[in-house]
Amino acid sequence: MTPELKYLAWVATFTAIMWMPYILNTITVRGLADAVGYPKDPAPLSPWAANMKAAHANAVENLVVFATLVLIAKAAGVSNDTTVAATQVYFWARVVHFLSYTARIPWIRTLSFVAGFGCQAAIAWQLLA
């Protein structure tokens, strides 16, 4: 497995488990029946859980772009120091983004998002340049 695919697997796995804490909060706040149902007026999530849910949605949206670029690079046989570094930095940028979004740390959240976007741009550049 290439390093790029390894980090894609790490990003996908991390994204796949992001929902667990906020779902536990949903069950705690609303009860199991309302958590799995469709209550008319659901109790709001705790602020950190609402933020975590939004961070998860953002991670899913960005995973589409990141995964597509990594898979195209693999199919095209493009693998170099830039693509490897970009996938590594992307993973850690997403971890920081998730944590800073949950904790409501706006500048860190924004910088980590921009770092992740820069990683996507770097991979795209390697493919298109």
The ranges assigned to domains in the chain are 3-36+45-128
Instruction: Assess contact for 91 and 7: CB atoms under 8 A.
Output: yes
As a whole number, mean pLDDT of residues 56-66 equals: 98
Tokens at residue 106, please?
A: 């706006």
Q: Which of 39-43, 46-50, 120-124 has the lowest mean pLDDT?
A: 39-43
Instruction: Assess contact for 52 and 102: CB atoms under 8 A.
Output: yes
CA separation for the pair 72, 58 (Å, rounded)? 22
What is residue 43's DSSP assignment? P
pLDDT at 6: 98
Q: Where are the alpha helices (DSSP H) in the chain?
A: 3-17, 19-30, 32-36, 47-76, 81-102, 106-128
As a whole number, mean pLDDT of residues 1-19 equals: 97
Pick from 111, 10, 106: nearest CA to 54: 106
Instruction: Tell me which CATH code domain 3-36+45-128 carries.
Output: 1.20.120.550
Average per-residue pLDDT for the chain: 96
